């Protein structure tokens, strides 16, 4: 990565620390990667994100609360490429995403400022990827789930509305 990252400067605005981090690394390993990558990515004006397994919103040290993870990453992470799934009815799916927005707006002891003068980004990145890959869901159905994510009501925090910033189903908004 150290050899490739300089080649991406100015070309790739968003970098993800890794995919499914909470499955194959420890919280300490994840934080070590964030601490190493943040100055490199943020230094050229890029945005650094994390991605965890389904419905994981943080990957804190044992004995700590989820807000601790985000406090440790103020000024390092731009946000999360959130992974959800379609096991729940759409209203519950939205309620779960709304819970994430409430936290990024400063609720539940979370920081309201990412360290960059705005809340952390919550991008509904992976919703129906597996079902679409397996042929169990059409692209149109995937787009529909993405539209539901984008229609999740925003939460108002100290920096204004905190909304879903986009979806991994072909629709983007404000990202």
Most confident among 25-29, 38-42, 82-86, 138-142 (mean pLDDT) = 25-29
Does residue 163 have a pLDDT over 80? yes
Q: How far is it, in rounded angstroms, from Cα 52 to Cα 58?
A: 8
Looking at the chain, which runs of residues are DSSP E strands? 14-16, 47-50, 79-83, 121-126, 155-157, 160-162, 164-167
Chain segment 26-46, per-residue pLDDT in tens: 999 999 999 999 998 998 899
**Contact of 126 with 168, CB cutoff 8 Å:** yes
Query: For 95-124, what is the mean pLDDT?
Result: 97
73 pLDDT higher than 90: yes
Residue given tokens 């400022």 in the structure block: 113
- pLDDT score, position 1: 66
One DSSP character per residue, 91-120 reads HHHHHHHHHHHHHHTTGGG--S--SSSSPP
Instruction: State percent of the chain over pLDDT 70.
Output: 95
| Least confident piece of the model among 44-48, 91-95, 136-140 | 136-140
What integer pLDDT is reported at residue 172 of this predicted model? 44
Whether residue 11 has pLDDT greater than 90:
no
d(CA 48, CA 93): 25
Give ∠ CA 141-17-134 in degrees, rounded to 5.
30
Give residue 169's pLDDT band: very low, low, confident or very high (50, 70, 90).
low
């Amino acid at each position: 990565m150290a050899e490739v990252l300089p080649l991406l400067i100015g070309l790739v605005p968003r970098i993800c620390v890794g995919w499914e981090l909470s499955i194959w690394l420890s919280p300490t390993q994840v934080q070590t990667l964030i601490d190493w990558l943040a100055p490199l990515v943020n230094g050229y004006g890029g945005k650094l994100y994390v991605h965890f397994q389904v419905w994981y919103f943080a990957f804190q040290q044992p004995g700590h609360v989820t807000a601790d993870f985000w406090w440790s990453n103020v000024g390092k992470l731009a946000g999360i490429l959130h992974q959800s799934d379609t096991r729940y009815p759409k209203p519950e799916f939205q309620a779960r995403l709304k819970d994430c927005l409430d936290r990024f707006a400063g609720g539940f002891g979370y920081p309201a400022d990412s360290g960059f003068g705005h809340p952390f980004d919550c991008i509904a990145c992976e919703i129906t990827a597996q079902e679409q890959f397996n042929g169990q869901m059409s692209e149109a159905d995937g787009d529909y789930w993405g539209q539901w994510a984008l229609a999740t009501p925003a939460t108002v925090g100290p920096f204004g509305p905190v909304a879903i910033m986009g979806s991994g189903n072909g629709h983007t908004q404000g990202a």
